Amino acid sequence: MPLFNYTGYKPDGSGTAGVIEADGIQDAASGIRALGIYPRDIRPHTDRRAWKFRRNEAALLPVMTRQLSTLLSAGVPLLEALKSLSDENSGFWKTMLVNIRENVSAGASMSRALEAEKNIFPDFYINMVAAGEQSGRIGIVLENLAVFLEKQDAMRSKIRTALIYPLFMTAVGFVVLSFLFTFVLPKIVRIFENTKSALPLITRILIVVSTVFVNYWWALLMLAAGLFFGFRKYRENHQQTLDSLKLKLPGNLLQSLYYGRFARTTGFLIDGGLPLLRALELSAKSLGNSVLQIRILDAAKMVAEGSRLSTALAGFPSVLVQLIATGEKSGTLAEVLSRAADSYEAEFERRVQKALSLLEPAMILLMGVIVGTIVLAVLLPMFQLNQLIK
């Protein structure tokens, strides 16, 4: 059962505080009174492990949404469905579901109960649930939300999978080179220290690099940490500059991802019953690119002033604009946007695979050049020594 922090007063009037285990706030209050304490404040217990559950929300939220939609579609009342979900989960998620059930039981709507957990449920999720409550299609809306979240999670998984190999190769290459420069090369360099002959330039450079790795490794770690935190600070202050560079990557790699995300989210929200302006605002926030977010919000202002969406999105890909114009004329904007999203997502996957097919041999070639340079820097002085001996 979830835990609750409480403060209250003892019979003698002195203050007290503690933690109690209960199914919900009402049960916690009853349990506290049973201890002879008058409760003053009761709040869900938060421990240091809560962040672990928040990290997994992208994977758990679609599952929970799917389970809830299945229960409601089977005719299970909302409170009983929430009770079943809370019994099946534990820790942070159990506490959250119990709080939602308590709020709904107290008379709040489902969407209002979700607003108390905004750190988990995105704005579009809450708005879609509110629209479903108004139309009486909460079960269908939750099923659509589950499909939408599952597609988003699948896309994130593909991106992570695509990055595994390059990151693995980079990590292995760094470890191998660090080992060579720190342990292997210093022993080889000692062979040349007592020779009075001039060493080749490439060998002298290699000796300097090896010396830095051995004697100033702490400075390298400080430099790496400084670059890391410096980049984070720069990103906070110049997010639009970085987002603009993302849109200019070779092959328009990320443009397909962003446009597909915009089409998918906007079409999904419109199909769920949200007004076009609200759908544009919510999809702009979910893009992950501040430059495109500003463009879409500007387009929303133009739509609010009477412009058509296809006209307001000037500067977007002409194919996407033409599809939107067709959807506006035929009254099938949500369906057209969904098809556009399928096309852009497929295009993004093709571009990622193409980039990886070029990146893999490029990384292998780079590692070969570095290792070949090291071998050459070691062998050249040996050839010179051999000539002197002869």
Segment 319-374, tens digit of pLDDT: 888 999 999 888 888 899 989 988 988 888 888 888 878 887 888 888 888 888 88
Q: What is the dihedral of CA 128, 132, 137, 143, to 10 degrees?
A: 20
Q: Does residue 244 carry a pLDDT above 70?
A: yes
Read off the pLDDT band of 222 (50, 70, 90).
Answer: very high
Mean pLDDT of the residues in the chain: 81
Positions of E strands within 267-371 = none
> Quick check: is 160 in a domain?
no
Read off the pLDDT band of 63 (50, 70, 90).
Answer: confident
> Quick check: is 8 in a domain?
yes
> Quick check: is 268 in a domain?
no
Instruction: Spell out the residues 6+ positions from residue 247 whose beta carbon is closer than 8 angstroms to its own.
Output: 254, 255, 258, 289, 291, 292
Of 46 and 282, the one with more pLDDT: 282
> What pLDDT does 226 receive?
92
Q: Does residue 386 carry a pLDDT above 70?
A: no
The 10s digit of each residue's pLDDT in 258-277 is 898 888 888 888 887 888 88
> What pLDDT does 195 receive?
63
- How many Å apart are CA 32 and CA 20, to the nearest integer? 8
Read off the pLDDT band of 194 (50, 70, 90).
Answer: low
> What pLDDT does 48 receive?
44
- How many Å apart are CA 299 and CA 293, to the nearest integer? 10
The 10s digit of each residue's pLDDT in 87-107 is 887 777 787 888 888 888 878
Q: Does residue 20 carry a pLDDT above 60?
A: yes
> What pLDDT does 257 receive?
84
The 10s digit of each residue's pLDDT in 116-132 is 777 788 888 888 888 88
> Quick check: is 10 in a domain?
yes
Give Cα separations from 386 to 30, 55, 197, 390 (angstroms).
Answer: 91, 61, 12, 6
Tell me how many domains the chain contains. Answer: 1
> Quick check: is 358 in a domain?
no
Report the pLDDT averaged over residues 153-182.
82
Of 223 and 98, the one with more pLDDT: 223
> Quick check: is 236 in a domain?
no
In contact, 72 and 78? CB cutoff 8 Å: yes
Report the pLDDT averaged over residues 281-296.
85
Highest mean pLDDT among 20-24, 187-191, 256-260: 256-260
Sheet holding 38-44, edge to edge: 15-21, 3-9, 38-44
Q: Does residue 46 carry a pLDDT above 80?
A: no
> What pLDDT does 49 receive?
43
> What pLDDT does 390 receive?
52
Residue 93, judged by CB atoms within 10 A of its CB (0-12, 13-18, 19+), counts as: buried
Report the pLDDT averaged over residues 190-217.
77
Report the pLDDT averaged over residues 60-84.
87
Let me know the angle formed at the C-alpha of 246 by 253 and 229, rounded to the nearest 5 degrees: 130
Beta bridge partners of 3: 21
> Quick check: is 23 in a domain?
yes
> What pLDDT does 3 receive?
64
Q: Which of 44-53, 239-248, 305-314 has the lowest mean pLDDT?
A: 44-53
> What pLDDT does 19 receive?
65
> Quick check: is 382 in a domain?
no
Tokens of residue 364, six digits? 């292998």
- How many Å apart are CA 210 and CA 278, to the nearest integer? 59
> What pLDDT does 11 receive?
80
Report the pLDDT averaged over residues 81-92.
82
Q: Which of 20-29, 89-98, 296-305 has the lowest mean pLDDT?
A: 20-29
Domain that holds residue 35: 3-45
> What pLDDT does 53 receive?
43
pLDDT over 90 for what percent of the chain? 3
Query: What are 213-218's contacts with CB under 8 Å, separation 24+?
Result: 213/178, 213/181, 213/182, 214/181, 214/182, 214/186, 217/182
In contact, 338 and 263? CB cutoff 8 Å: yes
